[in-house]
Structure 1
Amino acid sequence: MTDYTQWINLLFLLVLAAIIERTIKLSVLRKWLGLCLLITGPALLFHATNWIKETHLESLPIVALVTGIGLLSTQNLYCKAQNTHPLFIAATMNLAPDFPEDPVMQQLLQLLHEEIGLPKHRTIRLQTSLNFDLGCDGNEAKQLMETLEQEFALDLGDFDTYRYFNPPVFDVFLKRRAKGRGEKVPLTINMLYLAIKTHSWNTQTLENLS
């Protein structure tokens, strides 16, 4: 019967730990509760042995310790999730006065922020280029364009990667294919924005409009 009780208590503690992990979202509370549990676990193990055995809570110190470590290691988990919201990103970016604020642009900013990072110390304009101003290139550029194509159902049409980006450093074959393309052309946020709005990429039209 004792073993059966121990398993019930263990299950109860695990459920309680899961509830705590899901309920507490403030980073400060997660930090301090995590520290308390991190201290409480070993303290119970070494100084409350008799009480733990009498109440059949042998797993309590371990569960407390593991839960504390989990809370401390993920104290900013929910903050990061909130920070990726398009409205939050747009609000914290230093955007030019004439910068569009429609849902398409907000979603584009979110994707650019996640894929290549948007600096907060400089003004983001429609003319800001991904390759020259934001330093997007190589594998990063390849991943970005693939994500844009999927997320926005974008038909890349006559898009030429090597017109704007250098190939990955380690890919010799792509380097040969990119050779002879001449100087790189700026790929601006406005070009991506217009392409997404029309769901298609036309190099001459987008470069002329931008």
Structure 2
Amino acid sequence: MQWINLLLFLVLAAVIDRTIKLPVLRKWLGLCLLITGPTVLLYATSWTIGAQLESLPIVAFVTGIGLLSTPNIYRRVKTTHPLLIAPILNLAPDFPDDPIMLHLLQVLHEGIGLPKHKAITLDTSVNHDLGCSSTEAKQLMRVLKQEFGLRSGDYKNSRYFKHRSFDAHLRYVERGSEEKLPLTIDMLYQAVKAKHWDTQTLEAKRCHEP
């Protein structure tokens, strides 16, 4: 009976993981299960033994950890984007065409949109040239972490984007990136290749290029 209950709990945990896809719900449910597991184990031990549900608190705890550690796992739908098959953009002649760059272009296209007719170079900046907002940039860095294993290092969103603030009507508005440093495609490319964001190295390379 205990093994049957364990199997049922594992199936239920798998169903929950597949069903709950919103990051906020995964975080809250994960936190609840993370607390429920040890609580049941400490204060309802006799009940779980009597009902032959000894595995309940352990499965609840492990499921909670799983939900908390993967809040954005279903945020992006995995698709085969045309950029991975045949680039359709107006790329500079010396633009890299290796799999990492094509994958990065895919992420940028899906996240902020890339123009088909405007020339794109390594110096094209996502904040100045492509109109990426501060909110989009934060999501972009999360996707790069998920897709490429990029460690954020000393990356600061405020270095390239202005903070959101209230306007005259007390609404949150994006303040753009005027007077902020450019965040170029090449900087993102070098970062994902190194799997680490090092501001000094990336910006120094940009400044020293002819």
TM-score (norm 1): 0.53
| Per-residue deviation, residues 57-89 of structure 1 (Å, max 9, x unmatched) | xxxxxxxxxxxxxxxxxxxxxxxx66x23334x
Structure 1 gaps, min length 5: 1-80
State the superposition RMSD in angstroms.
2.7
The separation in 2 between residues aligned to 1:152 and 1:132, in whole angstroms, is 24
- 2:129 alignment counterpart: 133
- 2:200 alignment counterpart: 204
Equivalent residue for 2:156, pick from 157, 160, 182: 160
**Given that residues 124 and 185 in structure 2 are in contact (C-alpha distance below 8 angstroms), is that contact kept between their aligned partners in structure 1?**
yes
**Given that residues 139 and 167 in structure 1 are in contact (C-alpha distance below 8 angstroms), is that contact kept between their aligned partners in structure 2?**
no
The separation in 1 between residues aligned to 2:83 and 2:115, in whole angstroms, is 15
**Given that residues 134 and 162 in structure 2 are in contact (C-alpha distance below 8 angstroms), is that contact kept between their aligned partners in structure 1?**
yes
- 1:146 alignment counterpart: 142
TM-score (norm 2): 0.53
Q: Which amino acid aligns with 1:102?
A: D
Larger radius of gyration, structure 1 or 2? 1
The separation in 1 between residues aligned to 2:135 and 2:96, in whole angstroms, is 28
**Given that residues 150 and 191 in structure 2 are in contact (C-alpha distance below 8 angstroms), is that contact kept between their aligned partners in structure 1?**
yes
How has the CA–CA distance of structure 1 residues 121 and 86 changed in structure 2, closer, same or farther, with 3 Å as cutoff?
closer
**Given that residues 134 and 157 in structure 2 are in contact (C-alpha distance below 8 angstroms), is that contact kept between their aligned partners in structure 1?**
no
User: What percentage of aligned pairs have identical amino acids?
Assistant: 56
By how many angstroms is 1:169 displaced? Answer: 4.5
**Given that residues 137 and 167 in structure 1 are in contact (C-alpha distance below 8 angstroms), is that contact kept between their aligned partners in structure 2?**
no
Asked if 1:86 is matched to 2:83, the reply is yes
Q: Aligned residues, how many?
A: 123
How has the CA–CA distance of structure 1 residues 170 and 103 changed in structure 2, closer, same or farther, with 3 Å as cutoff?
farther
By how many angstroms is 1:168 displaced? Answer: 3.5
How has the CA–CA distance of structure 1 residues 159 and 108 changed in structure 2, closer, same or farther, with 3 Å as cutoff?
same
Q: Identify the structure with the greater helix proportion.
A: 1
How has the CA–CA distance of structure 1 residues 166 and 92 changed in structure 2, closer, same or farther, with 3 Å as cutoff?
same
The separation in 2 between residues aligned to 1:156 and 1:170, in whole angstroms, is 28
Q: Which amino acid aligns with 2:186?
A: N
